[in-house]
């Protein structure tokens, strides 16, 4: 069988072609996955907007209402980084719904991937760093409440700390947050994950992969029911804001190492994109596709 892949045309919001965030990558990623035979009409699933009840488990009603009514202040919009327009609101709702759907399909099929997601800078009452709603926190709390999962792992390998995720989930002893990120990068003020591993600038493949291996040894000592994997590719040597020196081959090896670990241990995994701001747009899309390619190879 093929890995379930979640995608929606509205993942591409209308924010202007000159915007710093490479929004068109979401549309080009599904095109590449189709072209290479990873995605087809049998394994592509289109999500609905996340329900308000599900959203409210992670986000305050006041904040959700402000997003729905497009009522953020100028300062809040500046922190968010996106113009607050109807297509951004729509994208945020369907992308969050996409991670919820991917998590349900991962429970059924052992692996599933969104072609968006990993919006880990969104806090309960505030959007930050191109993140409106924290889709992984929303989906984790959905699984906890809907399926009574006892131990959920968030394994976040974006170059930036999953600060919003750590803060939203800090009160839950049965959701374990891991963030392996750049020490000297956004956000300036870090939050406290259950396990934070800070990395110095310009780290290269071998040292980085050794850190990942050691972190996997740590999490393997715990018995998790489910894992969300935030597969950020902004660790790449050619990323515009990443400050790390990880090669294309290093990212491929990371995906194989991480995903294989959880497959081997029979822990369902939901993969989400995380960040990526490569100098080459085509390379960025290819790097993001490694998540889906690796899951497709490993699914039974």
At 20 the pLDDT is 86
CATH H-level superfamily of 5-298: Histone deacetylase domain (3.40.800.20)
Handedness of CA 186, 131, 181, 232 (dihedral sign): negative
Cα(83)–Cα(14) distance, integer angstroms? 9
At 188 the pLDDT is 85
Q: Which three-class secondary structure state does DSSP give residue 202?
A: coil
At 18 the pLDDT is 79
Cα(82)–Cα(29) distance, integer angstroms? 21
At 167 the pLDDT is 98
Cα(30)–Cα(114) distance, integer angstroms? 10
Q: Which three-class secondary structure state does DSSP give residue 274?
A: coil
pLDDT tens digits for the chain (300 residues)?
Answer: 899 999 999 999 998 877 888 999 999 999 999 999 999 999 999 999 999 999 999 999 999 999 999 999 999 999 999 999 999 999 999 999 999 999 999 999 999 999 999 999 999 999 999 999 999 999 999 999 999 998 999 999 999 999 999 999 999 999 999 999 999 998 989 999 999 999 999 999 999 999 999 999 999 999 899 999 999 999 999 999 999 999 999 999 999 999 999 999 999 999 999 999 999 999 999 999 999 999 999 997
Q: Model pTM?
A: 0.97
At 210 the pLDDT is 98
The residue ranges of every structural domain in the chain are 5-298
Burial 115-131 (b: 16+ CB within 10 A, else e): bbbbbbbbbbebbbbbb
At 156 the pLDDT is 98
At 16 the pLDDT is 81
Q: Residue 16: left if φ>0, alpha if ψ -120 to 50, beta else—which one?
A: left
Q: For residue 143, which of 88, 240, 252, 224 has the smallest C-alpha distance? A: 224
């Amino acid at each position: 069988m093929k890995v379930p892949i979640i995608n929606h045309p509205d993942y591409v919001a209308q924010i202007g072609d000159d915007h710093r965030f490479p929004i068109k990558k979401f549309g080009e990623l599904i095109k590449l996955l189709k072209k290479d035979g990873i995605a087809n009409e049998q394994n592509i699933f289109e999500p609905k907007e996340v329900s308000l009840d599900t959203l409210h488990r992670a986000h305050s009603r006041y904040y959700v209402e402000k997003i729905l009514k497009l009522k953020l202040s100028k300062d809040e919009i500046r922190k968010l980084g996106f113009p607050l327009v109807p297509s951004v609101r729509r994208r945020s709702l369907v992308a969050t719904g996409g991670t919820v759907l991917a998590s349900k399909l991962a429970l059924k099929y052992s692996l599933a991937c969104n072609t968006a997601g990993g919006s880990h800078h969104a806090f309960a009452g505030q959007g930050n760093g191109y993140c409106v709603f924290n889709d992984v926190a929303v989906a984790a709390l959905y699984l906890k409440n809907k399926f009574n999962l006892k131990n959920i792992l968030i394994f976040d390998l974006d170059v930036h700390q999953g600060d919003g995720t750590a803060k939203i989930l800090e009160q839950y002893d049965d959701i374990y947050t891991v963030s392996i990120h750049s020490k000297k990068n956004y956000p300036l003020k870090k939050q406290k994950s259950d396990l934070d591993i800070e990395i110095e600038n310009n780290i290269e493949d071998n040292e980085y992969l050794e850190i990942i291996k050691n972190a996997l040894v740590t999490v393997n000592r715990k018995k998790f029911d489910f894992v969300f994997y935030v597969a950020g590719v902004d660790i790449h040597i050619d990323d515009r804001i990443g400050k790390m020196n990880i090669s294309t081959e290093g990212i491929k090896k990371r995906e194989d190492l991480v995903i294989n670990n959880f497959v081997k241990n029979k822990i369902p995994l939901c993969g989400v994109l995380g960040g990526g701001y490569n100098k080459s747009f085509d390379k960025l899309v290819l790097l993001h596709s490694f998540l889906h390619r690796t899951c497709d190879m490993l699914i039974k």
